[in-house]
Amino acid sequence: MGRIDRPTAARPEGRAPRVAWLGLGAALAALVVAAGPPAAAFHSGGVAACGGCHTMHDPGAVFNPTNYLLKGATATDICLNCHGTANGNSWGQAVTMPGPIYGGGAFILLTEDNLNDGPGGANPANWIRGDAAGHNLVSIDYGLSADPLRPFAPGGSYPAAALGCTSCHDPHGKFGHFRLLYGRDSQPSKANGHVFQFTSNAPDATGIDLDGTPESRNNHTAYRAGMSAWCGNCHGRYHDEGSGSSFEHPIDEVLEPEMLQTYNTYRGTGFSDGVASDSYEPLVPYEVAGATVASTGPTPSGARVTCISCHRAHASSGPAAGRWDFKIEQWSQEGVASGSYRIPNPYETTAGGAQRPLCAKCHGD
């Protein structure tokens, strides 16, 4: 498939501009274009940090008097200049090898030609374009434009044409929320001319250092409360019955005892002999009070399934920003039909290519 190797200021040759919404309740969740400890200070509103994004007298800057005196065409362009391949790697290093993940996933996957690794996925008639990879941003410098298929967020009314980093993140970090996310106590978010007031609280969560070790089983975002409600600011309860979604699934519900047992012992397709204290899998996270970034298990009673349990907040090479590919029947198909980035198999050493989609982590094989 045609791909680009590095983010550039121009749209990759041969690609149509595209931006997509997730047809899912996982709105823009927790691990997004934000900042770890050093960047938090940058976004604190201190005088020394203003010049990183805004201009008043710099003749070499891209002066835009109608857009908050920003040094770029949009706020998203400026965000990705710092967070694109460092400080969270939110754009990614290459479309076929995006690089380390710090929770949110890489927006470069939105530029992929085909994401369909399911049966018949290599047939151009069945291609699933990168539009379906995740929450797409409107970015002039990175060649992303509004979703051509969905004018509004599924389940809500947020306009696709306005979607940007500052739709979800407060660039000044005024309220001390996880990943600078807006919440009901925040001022309205502003992005690409759209003003939006959040009605649910920012989630209670802690992220890993975006300049440190990437996501792993003992270094991952700790989700404690409020994730699905926050996603619902834009998407409502999108996978509930009657929501308009073609797929129904519980959200923000406590895992049943049988599911807790399955999660704690699952060690890959055909393997149910896992140790509960080492059972946590960051590709299938849950939300629970007391979670820490180093939690490895066992899964406590009270753990909840959330939007972010199945979906990345930014983008993925799995359609609908899936943390794993919902289209494949087993992992040996991953990345083959589409030629897209192959999501690493967390159970490669046990099940290998016979590993089934990670719905099995909770529901069993």
Closest CA to 101 of 267, 356, 316, 259: 316
pLDDT tens-place string over residues 296-330: 999 999 999 999 999 999 999 999 999 999 999 99
Taking Cα atoms as reference points, which of 28, 362, 29, 66 lies closest to residue 204?
29
- Main-chain phi, psi angles of 195, to 5 degrees: -110, 130
Of residues 266 and 59, the one with the higher pLDDT is 266
**3-state SS class at 253:** strand
Residues paired with 191 in a beta bridge? 194
Which pLDDT belongs to residue 91?
A: 97
Q: What is the pLDDT of residue 69?
A: 83
| pLDDT over 90 at 359, yes or no | yes
The pLDDT value given to residue 40? 54
The DSSP code sequence of 257-314 is HHHHHHHHH--STT-----GGG---TTS--B-TT--TT---PPPTT-EE-GGGTB-SS
C-alpha distances out from residue 103 to 29, 81, 142, Å? 10, 19, 21
Q: What is the per-residue pLDDT for 308?
A: 96
The Cα 220–Cα 228 span in angstroms is 18
Phi, psi dihedral angles at 64 (to 5 degrees): -135, 85
Q: Which domain holds residue 160?
A: 1-365
Q: Tens digit of pLDDT for each residue in 12-42?
A: 333 444 444 444 333 333 333 333 444 556 7
**358 and 281 Cβ atoms separated by less than 8 Å:** yes
Residue 59 has φ and ψ, to the nearest 5°, of: -70, -15
C-alpha 354/C-alpha 15 separation (Å) is 34
- Say what the pLDDT of residue 66 is: 55
Number of domains the chain contains: 1
Task: Please provide the average confidence, as pLDDT, over all residues in the chain.
Answer: 86
Ramachandran quadrant class, 234 (left: phi over 0; alpha: psi -120 to 50; beta: rest): alpha
Region 116-130 average pLDDT: 96
Q: Name the residue with higher pLDDT: 270 or 51.
A: 270
Which residues are CB-neighbours of 364 under 8 A, at least 6 positions away?
Answer: 262, 266, 272
Looking at residue 70, its pLDDT comes to 86
| Sign of the Cα pseudo-torsion (114, 89, 41, 77, in order) | negative
> Confidence band (pLDDT; 50, 70, 90) for 279?
very high
pTM, entire model:
0.86
On the question of a cis peptide bond just before residue 159, with omega within 30 degrees of 0, the verdict is no
pLDDT-derived band at 54, boundaries 50, 70, 90: confident
Read off the pLDDT of each residue in 61-71 and give the average, rounded to a whole number.
67
Q: What is the pLDDT of residue 154?
A: 87
State pLDDT tens for residues 188-237. 999 998 999 999 999 999 999 999 999 999 999 999 999 999 999 999 88
